[in-house]
Structure 1
Amino acid sequence: MGHVDHGKTTLLDYLRKSNVVDEEFGGITQHIGAFSVRLKHGKSITFLDTPGHAAFSAMRGRGARMTDIIVLVVAADDGVMPQTLESITHAADSNVPLIVAVNKCDRPEAEVEACVEELSQHGVLVEELGGDVMAVKISALKGTNIDALQDAIITLSELLDIKADPAGLVEARVIEAKTEPGRGRVATLLIQRGTLKAGNYLVAGTSYAKVKNIYDEHKKVLKAASPGFAVEVAGWKELPSPGQEVLQVENESKMRRVINYRKLQEQKQKQDSEWEEIKEKRKEHDRQHQQRLKLRQDAGLVRYTKHIVKKIELIEASNQPVEDFTPELLLIVKADVDGSLEAITSCLETYDCDLCTLETVSSGVGVVTENDVELARDFNGVVFAFNTKISPQVLKLADDLNVTIKQHNIIYKLIEDVKGLLNKRIPPAVNHKVVGEAVVQKLFLVTEKIDGRNMKVFVAGCKCIQGTLNRHSLFKLVRDGEVIHCDTVRTLKHFKAEVDDILEGMECGLALSNLSVEVKEGDTLLCYEEEEYQPEVIWDLPF
């Protein structure tokens, strides 16, 4: 575990002599990767590579809870960063011991001592500073001290006496789940007890499987999987959720009884939740009823006739503010695996801006289907496909129905694309730029010819105290800090001459176009211009 780009996946690349970093889009891990490494002396270590990016906090939490030991990778040239601290918290919450791998020690700018000292300030005290946490200085890129890191892992596991029972019924945890063409629904499991074999019956939540095939990380079919190994299991009727506990049952009959019981419990919980919502709605209805009764009493009404009800409804409606139209963006999200979908939806849930509404109409794991496109058409939404293929038939249907499908393979770029679509939906706004300010010093009653008639009207004697007053601009009448009226001016005079501009320090006679608006001594007149601009959503993205 550790911060993004601190070298976790590069370290694992060296361990298994592969090149996963180049395969991950954007060079960042976006799934929990699981694989086993056989050491020179015959022992094996199973590694879970958790994403370091801020969007994958839930994945890191699950990874921490599944492991026996956490290797905290910290770059010596970067030090302790936000996801480093989060990883330390996950380790403490899960009560999982740490080994610190100080990476990138080969770089000239590396500051190992400063890095170790910074860790100690956050509760991770390494052995060289008198603590009990092992620390190994490594270079994942060059392979420096990797053997020492492996030895440290084996030593700590022996000290902790980490063991598992290969006999008995299987217990496991779901690392990841996805749907693959040719293999169907596949879940990556970390075996924690027992030995998994083809034909076993498994339950996870309300999902179940009769194990069809077991695969290792290279997609090679295995006959069995023992504790400590991560394998892919095909044969699920429904995809389980990452982090769920997986239990083996003896036969299909018992499996179905367990699933039926769990579904009943789930339905009961749902009913309890709905009942609570009903009770809340009743309370709100009672509150509105009491308000209606009070309106009747205040009006001196005895009977609740239809006319009275209508009158009350009109009164209530007149008291409700008229809401402005708010644009909205509706999404249909499809992802390759459950973990990616969770990270995407978690990021989308951080959005909280009133300028444009963001709602996810539908989300799921798997390829984009024709139903997804038709749903997007019905809701005038946009389909976002993450790391999934789109068939030519679906693309043609989307084109025929004028539905936009956005394809991405890097989560933070997907979120930035959503942000861009939100901004495009927001209509332009108008900003009032104040260019001049005047104070009303005195009112003069003068005779003016208006619409062919001589009329006595008030003209405000003003002094420009800031900027410039322009007769072709707009004016705000402000009294006691509150805007009373916005208008154009009918007349703007300096002495007796009509002028276009009054400069700062000059006095003038000013009359608003609306004759019914009363101007008083001491009022402020603000001269302003309207500037159109494009508002943008405020969204504190976690990257």
Structure 2
Amino acid sequence: MALVHRGAWRLVTPLLRVARTNPALFLQRRHASKQFKDQKKELKPKPKINKQKVEIKQKMTVKELARAMNRDFDHVVEALLNTSVDVDELEPDSVLDQVWVKEVVSRSGMKFRWAKLSETRERPNKDATRPDKHTESLRKSQIVATEAGGITQHIGAFSVQLASGEAMTFLDTPGHAAFSSMRARGASATDIVVLVVAADDGVMEQTVESIRHARTAGVPIIVAVNKCDKPQADPERVKKELLSHDVICEEFGGDIQAIHVSALQGDGLVELTEAVVALAEVLELKAEPDGLMEGLVIESRNDKGKGPVSTALVQRGALRRGAVLVSGRAWAKVRFMFDENDSVLKEAGPSRPVQVSGWRELPSAGEEILEVETEQRAREVVAYRQYLDEQQRLSEDQRTIAANREAHLQEYREQREELGHLSWRQRRRALYQKNKDAFALRPKEWGQEEADPGDVDGSVETLLNVLDSYDAQDECELKLIHFGTGDITETDVNLAHTFSGSVYGFNVAVPRPVQQVALKKDVPLRLHSVIYKLIEELQQELSLKRPPITTETILGEANVLMIFEVSEGKKKVPVAGCRVQRGVLDKKHSFRVLRGKQVLWEGSLSALKHHKDEVSSVKVGMDCGLSADGNVDFSPGDIVQCYEQQDRPQTTSWTPPGF
């Protein structure tokens, strides 16, 4: 210590001497030293690093993260190496957890910030739309019937070649339910509705509904009175019944044509097509065969040989092989086209139903189809429409969260006003009695200081909003007994033990004595620093609380043909002689005997024989003899069923907004 003090004194002494002997020189040297330090700082300024900012969001895919970082897919995969993420299973559409999204951004030397609806830059409109004005218009004809004698209905849309050389296109819409869904997807695409009414049944409920849809869409109607070949047919009664629904046929002074037909015999179909053609001419229904194709998706499916295939109706322009199409959030480059008979087409003009192969993803039925110039343009359109969907979902989530937050705060204010005369300990005890539930939650305070220890801070409020979105319905009940800020205490553990619940902690610690109490009382402590992980574990716990679902599978059935008895010692045992009609009868599974719809017996078999051999199973077409483990009064004509029951776990359907 003495040496250090001496050294320090020697360093200070010369400066003190200068100050004592010549104060002006002391100030001059001091000023020069300060100028030298300032010049040194100016010569070597600290480099300022401007990190790239990346907007992240919930449920972000690898492809979306790479695009936000202006990097490729491989860059994201490389950033996740040496982590617990299985990079071999990653695909461009794989959804990353929030913690790994942040990790990728940090490892890439960038900064992240959460994307907000108010801060998101509005993208330029890249959508594809129909031209504002059409010189002409085309709609498709529609028949509400399943009977169209001799006309194929393979793809739900078909063409009819008339004797005059003209062609008519129909949509197969059997029954009012399908017609309702078609109307809901866009009845504006319909020109003429052929209302098929059975002459023997008259106006039914589905007829009235079809009329209502046609009126709502503003589409003209032609009435086809079908089954006129039946002896009990009464076409005049049908037309009179239609009067009460404001469908006035020409015979009664109206402007609606009524044609008597028999789909089974083929009578009146020529007159029906002529009536449709005449009405189309009056309405001047024409189509533009030139320009980019416009159409409508009638149906779509995955074909094993062709891949994603849609049935499209060309409404304007011509569709050719190699055309680039956009429909909703799907796009295609047409590889092949087929008609309703699976014949290859090179071109499809207006009013032509056609099967289109080459879709990247299946479009939805009822979606509009538009042709665009290039594949790049198609990708722009799809990306823009996905962007609009994301903005809408984000807006809905924010409205839901805001509404839940406001409702919770209002309830909290009411409780504080109601219990305001009590101390904070008394208020908390009163809340315990009011909310006797089976769940404890204690998030950590995020720096927000309140005078009242029982006040709710931001982190608690966020988690309460999440829990408010839970709707039990037929699932297990989720109850909250207590919430607060700070580390988990022994009181929390005791409350959870009383109500057989769990303690969830968010960014909190658990003192060792509290851990020992929880271990002794078998109270689960579920601690998390990432909210998504907390919710995931809560969902898993809710799923485990649900009882399993028992499913039954019928393995085989047999008919009882005859009854006979066999001797087992001094006992006569009834045996049913059976023939297996379908599946397999396996002795190790359960059996039941049915007489009509009544169950006579359920249990297991004591014996199963084929001829004289004891067997474990018999297959379809084989004869067998079986005896039940119990008293069963078999009778010829009974049905013997072999079935298997299995229990499978249930999972909660609860998914909070934004998760």
TM-score when normalising by structure 1: 0.53
Q: Structure 1 residue 76 and structure 2 residue 199: aligned? A: yes
> 1:166 and 1:381 mapped to 2: Cα distance?
57
Residue segments in structure 1 that go unaligned for 5+ positions in a row: 1-5, 24-31, 319-324, 330-374, 385-401, 403-543
Spell out the pairing of 1:92-241 with structure 2 (5 A cutoff).
92-241=215-364
Instruction: Tell me if the contact between 2:144 and 2:194 (Cα under 8 Å) persists in the aligned partners.
Output: no
Question: Unaligned 5+ residue runs, structure 2?
Answer: 1-142, 438-471, 477-542, 553-588, 590-659
| Shift, 1:328, TM fit | 6.8
Change beyond 3 A, Cα 1:315–1:301: same
Please report how far the alpha carbon of residue 295 of structure 1 lies from its aligned counterpart in structure 2 after TM superposition.
Answer: 3.8
Q: Determine if the alignment matches structure 1 residue 50 to structure 2 residue 186.
A: no
Cα deviation per residue 1:190-233 (whole Å; 9 max; x = unaligned)?
A: 11001001111111111111111111111111101101011111
Report the CA distance shift for 1:174/1:7 in structure 2 as closer, same or farther (over 3 A). closer
Equivalent-residue separation in structure 2 for 1:239 and 1:380 (angstroms): 35
Return the letter of the residue paired with 2:431: I
> Of 316, 326, 334, which residue of structure 1 is paired with 2:435?
316
- Matched residue of 2:216: which SS? helix
Report the CA distance between 1:157 and its aligned residue.
0.8
Equivalent AA in structure 1 for residue 145 of structure 2: K
Query: 1:132-156 CA deviation, whole Å, 9 max, x = no partner?
Result: 1111001110011111111111111
- 2:422: which partner in 1? 301
Q: Kindly tell me: are residues 106 and 186 of structure 1, through their superposed partners in 2, closer, same or farther at Cα, counting changes over 3 Å?
A: same
Asked if structure 2 preserves the Cα contact closer than 8 Å seen for 1:214 and 1:234, the reply is yes
Who is 2:382 aligned against?
A: 259
Secondary structure of the structure 1 residue equivalent to 2:436: helix
Q: Percent identity at matched positions? A: 44
CA contact (8 A) 1:169 1:248 kept: yes
Q: Say whether the 8 Å CA contact 1:36–1:229 is kept in structure 2.
A: yes
1:115 deviates by: 0.4
Once the two structures are superposed, what CA deviation does each residue of 1:242-277 show, in whole Å capped at 9, x if it has no partner? Answer: 111111111111111111111111111111111111
State how far apart, in whole Å, the 2-side matches of 1:212 and 1:138 are. Answer: 41
Q: How does 1:86-485 map to 2 (within 5 A)?
A: 86-297=209-420, 300-302=421-423, 304-305=424-425, 308-317=427-436
Offset, 1:180: 1.3
- Distance (Å, rounded) in 2 between the aligned partners of 1:44 and 1:55: 24
Distance 2:307 2:370 in 1: 21
Q: 1:276 to 1:326 in 2, by over 3 A?
A: closer
- Picking from 2, 10, 13, the partner of 2:149 is 13
Superposed displacement of residue 310, structure 1: 4.8
Which residue of the partner structure matches residue 422 of structure 1? none
Does the 8 Å contact 1:51/1:60 carry over to 2?
A: no
SS of 1:221's partner is: coil
> Could you report, residue by residue, the CA deviation over 1:60-92 in whole angstroms, capped at 9, with x for unpaired residues?
544744322111100011111111111111111
RMSD: 3.1
Counterpart in the other structure of 2:601: none
Residue number among 156, 170, 191 corresponding to 1:33 in the alignment: 156
CA shift in 2, pair 1:90/1:53, >3 Å: closer
3-state SS of paired residue (2:376): helix
Shift of 1:43: 0.3
The answer (yes or no) to whether the contact 2:223–2:259 under 8 Å persists in 1 is yes
Whole-Å separation in 1 of the counterparts to 2:319 and 2:337: 8
Shift >3 Å, 4+ stretches: 53-56, 59-65, 325-329, 378-384
Cα distance change on mapping 1:225 and 1:262 into 2, 3 Å: same
- Cα distance in 1, alignment partners of residues 415 and 178 from structure 2: 48
AA paired with 1:205? Answer: G
Could you list the per-position Cα deviations for residues 90-136 of structure 1 after superposition, in whole angstroms to 9, with x for gaps in the alignment? 11121111111000111111111110011121111111111111110
Which has the bigger relative contact order, CA under 8 A and spacing at least 6?
A: 1
Structure 1's 55 and 8: CA in aligned 2 closer, same or farther, altered over 3 A? closer
Give 3-state SS (helix, strand or coil) of 2:191's partner.
coil
- AA partner of residue 38 (structure 1): Q
Distance 1:326 1:286, change over 3 A: closer
* Structure-2 change in CA distance of 1:380 and 1:241 (3 Å): farther
Deviation at 1:316, TM superposition (A): 3.0
Contact 1:60 1:87 in 2 (8 A): no
Contact 1:50 1:60 in 2 (8 A): no
How far does residue 52 in structure 1 lie from its aligned partner after superposition?
Answer: 0.3
Count of residues in Structure 1 that have an aligned counterpart in Structure 2: 311
Conserved 8 A contact 1:72-1:98: yes
Q: Which residue does the alignment assign to 2:640? A: none
- 2: CA distance between counterparts of 1:267 and 1:62? 22
Q: 8 Å contact 1:295–1:312 — kept in the other structure?
A: no
Structure number, greater radius of gyration:
2
Would the aligned equivalents of 2:311 and 2:356 in 1 still touch at CA under 8 Å? yes
Letter in 2 for 1:8: A
